[in-house]
Amino acid sequence: MGNQTSLTKRACPVTVSLSPRQYIELRGNRRRVLQHFYIQVRPLARALEEENAGRIDILVDQEGRPHTVGNLERELGATNHFVIGPTISFAIPLRADDRTEFFQLDVHVCTPDLFDWQFILYSYADAWCILDLCAQNFGFSIDGTGLHLRVAEIEKTHPQDCLVHLTSDPEAMMRFLHLDANRFAYGFWTLHDLFSWVTRSRIFKRRFIKMTASGFEHRIFERPMHLVFRTEWLPQWVEVGADVDFGSQVDRTSLTREALSFFNKTDAHSDKILQYRVATIMLWKKIAKALPLKGAGLNHAMKSLMAHLQWRDGALVLIPTEHLYYDEVPSFGRDEGKTYVDEIVVPWVLAHWREAVALFNRSGSGGSTTTPLR
């Protein structure tokens, strides 16, 4: 992404810090070259981190003329390139007769129909990573395709298929998050200006900014901009993002309700829940039909399974304590399909239903568990 440290090796053997005049001149020259190959070409905001001062980022969309990366390298005057995901990074000599100093040109190839959205996401990308970390705590997600809402009722059992797409309109997203779109369009000259803008969002809470992380989050946390934000800027502004600040009373439930109304997604949200509730009913009916029981014995076994069967990390397990909420009960939607239920779920239940009954009997519920078949 633009304005963040590359996650791989750099294309350039040596990058120089470009002066404002050099940056504008080189960016303009390479933009004109790219316009021969792409229909939409738009430079991203200049990186604010010192270590990225030798890099130019440009977003492109829709090929206007067939070409290869080799064609681009030659026309751009580059000596080397590498490709990672949708980004092509070129090493370009600062002067044609000198191969000791280079600047890096990152060409980001946009997903079709998402040019405006990905333009704002690639611009000041680490800032959007900060906002996404906060958004996750309110049940939202910001990614390369738009702003999404995670449906709480099915998030535990279907984390990969619980999203409702809210918008890919940057201005609508900023209005909802209480971000100043005009200030963003104007651009930021310092990290302080950028951080001040980010932290004015109503979803920003300093308690969501962890001091340590692992896995993918670790790669985000250790990038220069995020590191400066966490270890230098935020400690200086102790009142920013405190619970007494902007929208301190906002919680996930109220923000979900507002988002569904704001983006007109109430029906999509309800349909997503209904889809899985119907799938749940069909699943339990199929299990009931497969169990070698009838009458009271079948009812008792079904209540036992409903009380103790849970879907965790992609596997069925029996938990010692009973379910308290509907969303803890396994359900299966369109992605798993009939074959998955028939070949994996039902055989597993047939092999473990007696264990569920034993757990249920030990709990002393006597059939008090609420059934999700309602």
pLDDT digits (tens, 9 = 90+) for 328-355: 555 554 445 556 778 888 899 999 999 9
Residue carrying structure tokens 């250790």: 222
Give me the pLDDT at residue 245, please. Answer: 47
What pLDDT, in 10s, does the model give residues 198-223? Answer: 999 999 998 888 754 544 455 555 67
| Residues β-bridged to residue 90 | 81, 105
Report, as an integer, the average pLDDT of 297-302: 92
CA 366 – CA 300 distance, rounded (Å): 9
Residue carrying structure tokens 């190839």: 109
The segment with the largest mean pLDDT, out of 55-64, 155-164, 169-178, 327-336, is 169-178
Residues 6+ apart with CB under 8 A from 358: none
**Cβ 125 vs Cβ 1: under 8 Å:** yes
Give me the pLDDT at residue 87, please. Answer: 92
What pLDDT, in 10s, does the model give residues 139-153? Answer: 999 999 999 999 988
Give me the pLDDT at residue 52, please. Answer: 67
Residues 6+ apart with CB under 8 A from 182: none
CA 39 – CA 35 distance, rounded (Å): 6
Report, as an integer, the average pLDDT of 124-153: 92
For the chain, percent of residues with pLDDT exceeding 70: 81
Q: What is the DSSP letter of 52?
A: G
Of the two residues 229 and 9, the one the predictor is more confident about is 229
343: left (phi over 0), alpha (psi -120 to 50) or beta: alpha
CA 349 – CA 326 distance, rounded (Å): 19
Report residue 110's pLDDT band, with 50, 70 and 90 as the boundaries: very high
Nearest to 203 by CA among 170, 234, 178: 178
Give me the pLDDT at residue 182, please. Answer: 95
Q: Which of 83-97, 108-122, 220-234 has the lowest mean pLDDT?
A: 220-234
State yes or no: pLDDT of 289 exceeds 90. yes
DSSP-derived secondary structure for 312-366: ETTEEEE-SSPP-SGGGS----TTTHHHHIIIIIHHHHHHHHHHHHHHHHHHT-S
State yes or no: pLDDT of 364 exceeds 50. yes
The pTM assigned to this predicted structure is: 0.77
Of the two residues 62 and 69, the one the predictor is more confident about is 69
Q: What is the DSSP letter of 309?
A: E
- 255 burial level (CB within 10 Å; 0-12, 13-18, 19+): buried
CB atoms within 10 A of CB 238: 9
Alpha carbons within 13 angstroms on the beta-carbon side of residue 266 total 5
Give me the pLDDT at residue 161, please. Answer: 81
What's the chain's average pLDDT?
Answer: 82
Give me the pLDDT at residue 367, please. Answer: 40
Report, as an integer, the average pLDDT of 295-299: 92
For the chain, percent of residues with pLDDT exceeding 90: 47
Q: Which of 7-11, 51-55, 362-366 has the lowest mean pLDDT?
A: 7-11
Report, as an integer, the average pLDDT of 148-167: 87
Report residue 3's pLDDT band, with 50, 70 and 90 as the boundaries: very low
